[in-house]
Amino acid sequence: MKRNLLAASIAISMITLVGCADDTPEVTETDLSTPIQQASYGIGLNMGGSLLQEGLDDIDTDALALGLRDALERNDPRLDEEALNDAFAQLQNRAQERVEALAEEASAANQSYLEENAAREGVVTTESGLQYEVLSAADEEAASPGANDMVTVHYEGRLVDGTVFDSSLERGEPAQFPVSGVIPGWVEVLQLMRVGDKWTVTIPSDMAYGERSPSPSIPPNSILVFDMELLSIDSAE
């Protein structure tokens, strides 16, 4: 990856530097009374949170402040292109190694959780690896939706540690959507349910969002657990 592309990526993630106008990283000595000072500080906070999420918590803040100041003051760079490219390549390799290590840890933890959950009484595991437990069964004559149907569902989604990341119950209004328009785990389980069923559904990460989380509240490679009730099958219109 070229230096400017990687630099742009890392720039989105920078931390706590705006406001360090001298070589002393004493935030308490920086005036934050004017709007531009406050906005500058806010930029630093926002960028810093992303840096920490990337695991770059050992960035040299003095060197980072120096680079930021040189750019803003239009000073000549203190390192040549080759040195910067080499440094960014090393940083990128380290980040990739971290991602791979975290993925391995998550995979092992997920497998252990699914095995333990599958062993609980009442839990059914489908061929795909999806797991569900019937909380309240619908009438046997009740209809099941197909892939092309619209459905109305009440649900609460949480992580395996119990953290709730989405809940139609909390909003007080069920959700309506096409069966084929949701994550693969929901596509499968909705077609197994009948109107009136209440289930707890455990969705493996590869049937949820995998590595591409749609929200900071859902870490990559997360198993998702849903309490869900199929309320109705609706007209496609």
Catalytic residue among 10, 149, 155, 233: 155
Q: What is the pLDDT of residue 194?
A: 97
pTM higher than 0.75: no
Task: Share the mean pLDDT of the chain.
Answer: 85
98 or 141: whose pLDDT is higher? 141
Q: Which of 52-56, 175-179, 224-228, 229-233 has the lowest mean pLDDT?
A: 52-56
Q: Is 155 part of the annotated catalytic residue set? A: yes
Among candidate residues 59, 132, 209, 223, the one labeled active-site is 209
The confidence score (pLDDT) of residue 23 equals: 45
Q: Tell me, letter by letter, the H, E, C secondary structure of 116-161.
A: HHHCCCCEEECCCCCEEEEEECCCCCCCCCCCCCEEEEEEEEECCC
Any idea which of 29-38, 49-58, 132-141 has the lowest mean pLDDT?
A: 49-58
Residue after which a domain boundary falls, among 25, 49, 78: 78
**Tens of pLDDT along 119-129?**
999 999 999 99
pLDDT tens-digit series, residues 60-82? 888 888 988 899 899 999 999 99
Number of domains the chain contains: 2
130 and 212 in one domain?
A: yes
pLDDT at position 28, please? Answer: 54
List the CATH number of the domain containing 201.
3.10.50.40
Q: Specify whether 138 is located in the same domain as 192.
A: yes
Express as a percent the part of the chain with pLDDT over 90.
56
Give me the domain span that covers residue 70. Answer: 3-78
Write phi, then psi, for 201 (nearest 5 degrees).
-120, 130
User: Considering just the CA atoms, what is the radius of gyration of the chain in Å?
Assistant: 24
Among the candidates 78, 107, 136, a domain finishes at: 78
Give yes or no: residues 65 and 143 share one domain. Answer: no
Among 8-12, 30-34, 156-160, 214-218, the least confident range: 8-12
CA dist 194 → 51, 136, 198, 230, 235 (Å)? 46, 11, 9, 7, 16
Largest CA distance in the chain: 77
Q: What tokens appear for 19 in the block?
A: 């406001």
**177, 183, 206, 234: the active-site residue:** 183
Is residue 113 part of the annotated active site? The answer reads no
Active site residue 10: no
Q: Are residues 129 and 66 in the same domain?
A: no
> Position 14: which residue type?
M
Q: Is 57 a catalytic residue?
A: no
C-beta of residue 19 within 8 angstroms of C-beta of residue 41: yes
